[in-house]
A and B are shown apart, each in its own frame.
Chain A
């Protein structure tokens, strides 16, 4: 790398206040062309504020930005984009009804007198998709019919349509499988070779070590450290991020597996799962690994009665449950944590207390009237028990961070006295401290004799907390083994090929 030329981007002593809170406190950040610079930190550490300042969405209170040595003070997002800065946000920003072509060209359609130049735009779009090695994506399909991974490619292609010098990727792999993530890294390497500078935000530290040249860690609005990724260890990054709050990422709580608590006998759903037989024991954390579309989620939903059972049986400690939906399952002591926290798992606009007690309202009802006081009291208790960062149980769930939202969702299952916990991606998109706390809660539950079925796309956490791991492939259970017999390569091999690992 040529060190003498001015860096592609230099942000100096950037400060920003939101009311009384200091979101950014004299933060320095720089980026060279052809470099991937990871921006790390807990939720609320100031990462997104820094990005918003760069993208022109927010104006800084202090500090200066230079682009290739020239002062840069964007008046708005448009100016930033014209300067070659593209941001791919965490929630995919596509219009679901529009086609691939329409989405990629959105906002900068080529036209003559207002009439679209379809043919020329299509060539341009094909070129953009080719640039990210995904020329096979059809142009005329509405985006809502594409897989999550393909949608992401569409979004990257859109970002690259303009002469992009700086590409910001905010949690790009949070909804991707391992395989799709690897493909994304391929695209990133390609962009690097073209001289694009990439700012990479992610919660997955292993992934950062794989893809980033340098890392900068923010904590509480301040820069906690920066350095070459190959020179700083994972542990020191975590230490910088949390400032000593997390001692271990995977806190171990001793637990002992007992008799079977939930049995799935040749359980078959309409589409998936396909005849899955599996027994979950008391005091056990059983991991379920697999790619997106492997039927993991469908398996959990079928167990919980959200998806229809075609054939087979589900047994819990207190007898067979097959008929009925979630209501019956909850009564039998099964609880499900949805993978879609915001869409399905929580009623975002309602309070913490309401969300907590939604599945088990009985204690707070007397002759049809809700006893607000008792409900609120229970809310306080769970906030303390789960270490939820909130000011009151009356606070709407939407005002909490992702990690704290997830703790509310988990607390609901505890509150409804579940014996069997079906957890679907419980740590997706949440910060490390919350993750670690959720792992600890899972260990606690197991030590109390509860059973946990833990679905995750993230192999390290499965290997870190589970007792046994089952791998799914196209709706079938490929293999179930104790965790010590698995490693990441074996999991990936089983999940992608659908063949049991040779032992």
Chain B
């Protein structure tokens, strides 16, 4: 009896683990069966471009996963990406070394995140309000710095980070894609095997308990938002690399894609739940959908409707699972 129970639990755990994969698989299978695109959809070239297109959202989603697991939200992610990309362009345009420009861009993102975290913990306002404010502030600063136009910058190696055919060619995929994979693995390890990761879950699950158990909840939150900011900064670098200019009006509304990816991947907006793997699958579900719809020649609004439906269905299924669990 007990053994059978353990067995069924193991099966349930397996189902829970596989569920997000099934969604991704479903999207891929549907498109590879559609006669109009099936010959092109699964080609290596197309897969590469889907991977490259995912990098910007994926980097944002890595940080957002930490924030959402801790019970927070970051609405300023996309503005932060735009600001960071402008900083990179500005620095390189001003004659600084490209590596220094990249560093400045990443640190700008980190600074915005740090400010978010500090304001949330010191003013004791909900993250929604603080980051809603920051959404406007960061976007405004980016436009101000860019003089309300695009910032041109000379072509450097930075622009190859997102090149579809990388040099050297043995890299196979753009350096940005490798970076995304590497960072995803690293953040998953941090989330699962470090004290910090466990505290992130604890804060999202029950903040009062976490405080009671001596966890420095404020400091942990500042670190979480700072870390997420760094990821936005890096995402901004990739945005600059892709566009070759600094555009303060880029990525408007992208924060919702980032949040959607985390939520599709099993992150709960009430905190305490989520995983890096899930979030990455969420990113790829959306990327494959966009890519497939474009190949089909479907208009943009069809994509938007489908992605909207996917978000609702994914979260509804997740809720169902959660309820059965408890």
Residue numbers of A with Cβ under 8 A of B are 77-78, 81, 89, 93-98, 102, 106-109, 111, 114-116, 118, 142, 144-145, 158
Contact = CB atoms under 8 A, between A and B. Distances in A.
A96 B206 contact: yes
6 contacts: A97-B205, A98-B202, A106-B209, A107-B210, A114-B195, A116-B194
Contact of A77 (B193, B205, B208, B214): B214
Q: Which A-B residue pairs are the 9 nearest by beta carbons?
A: A107-B213, A97-B272, A95-B205, A97-B205, A107-B214, A95-B206, A106-B213, A93-B209, A109-B195
B326 interface: yes
Nearest to B189: A115
A238 to B, nearest CB: 33
A114 B208 CA distance: 23
Given A81-B214, A107-B213, A145-B325, A97 B198 contact: no
A115 B191 CA distance: 10
B213 A97 contact: no
A115 B189 CA distance: 9
A46 B202 CA distance: 31
B201 A97 contact: yes
Contacts of A142: 325-326
A94 B326 CA distance: 15
B196 interface: yes
B53 interface: no
Interface of B: 193-196, 198, 201-202, 204-206, 208-210, 212-215, 271-273, 325-326
Contacts of A144: 326
B114 to A, nearest CB: 20
B13 to A, nearest CB: 9
A98 B214 contact: no
B196 A114 contact: yes
Interface residues of chain B: helix, strand, loop or mixed (majority): helix
A246 B258 CA distance: 61
| Residue of A89, A102, A107 with most partner-chain B CB within 10 A | A107
A491 B119 CA distance: 57
A115 B206 contact: no
Given A106-B209, A145-B326, A111 B194 contact: yes
Contacts of A97: 201, 204-205, 271-273
Given A78-B214, A95-B272, A106-B202, 6 more contacts: A93-B209, A94-B206, A96-B206, A106-B215, A115-B195, A118-B193
B272 A108 contact: no
B194 A96 contact: no
A95 B184 CA distance: 26
| Residue of B202, B210, B213, B271 with most partner-chain A CB within 10 A | B213
Nearest to A102: B198
Nearest to A110: B195
A109 B214 contact: no
A113 to B, nearest CB: 9
Given A77-B214, A97-B204, A116 B195 contact: yes
A106 B211 CA distance: 10
Nearest to B268: A97
Contact of A115 (B193, B205, B209, B271): B193
B193 A116 contact: yes
Contacts of B202: 95, 98, 102, 106
| Residue of B195, B196, B271, B272 with most partner-chain A CB within 10 A | B195
A98 B194 CA distance: 14
Contacts of A81: 214
| Residue of A81, A93, A97, A144 with most partner-chain B CB within 10 A | A97
A152 to B, nearest CB: 14
B219 to A, nearest CB: 13
A146 to B, nearest CB: 10
B187 to A, nearest CB: 14
A93 B206 contact: yes
A78 B216 CA distance: 11
A102 B195 contact: no
Contacts of B206: 93-96
Contacts of A115: 193-195
Contacts of B194: 111, 114-116
B204 A93 contact: no
A95 B210 CA distance: 8
A142 B204 CA distance: 14
A118 B195 CA distance: 11
A94 B198 contact: no
A78 B214 CA distance: 7
A120 to B, nearest CB: 13
A404 B198 CA distance: 39
Contact of A106 (B204, B208, B210): B210
A102 B201 contact: yes
A116 B198 contact: yes
Contacts of B272: 95-98
A87 B202 CA distance: 19
B324 to A, nearest CB: 11
Contacts of A77: 212, 214
A142 B12 CA distance: 14
| Residue of A81, A114, A145, A158 with most partner-chain B CB within 10 A | A114
Contacts of B201: 95, 97-98, 102
B195 to A, nearest CB: 5
Contacts of A114: 194-196
B320 to A, nearest CB: 16
Contacts of A93: 206, 208-209, 212-213
Contacts of B208: 93
A96 B205 contact: yes
B212 to A, nearest CB: 5
A98 B202 CA distance: 7
A94 to B, nearest CB: 6
A144 B324 CA distance: 12
Nearest to B215: A107
B195 A98 contact: no
Contacts of B198: 98, 102, 106, 109, 116
Nearest to B325: A145
A77 B213 CA distance: 9
Contacts of B209: 93-95, 106
A109 B210 CA distance: 12
Nearest to A113: B194
Contacts of B215: 106-107
Contacts of A95: 201-202, 205-206, 209-210, 272
A89 B212 CA distance: 10
| Residue of B198, B209, B215, B271 with most partner-chain A CB within 10 A | B209
Contacts of B212: 77, 89, 93
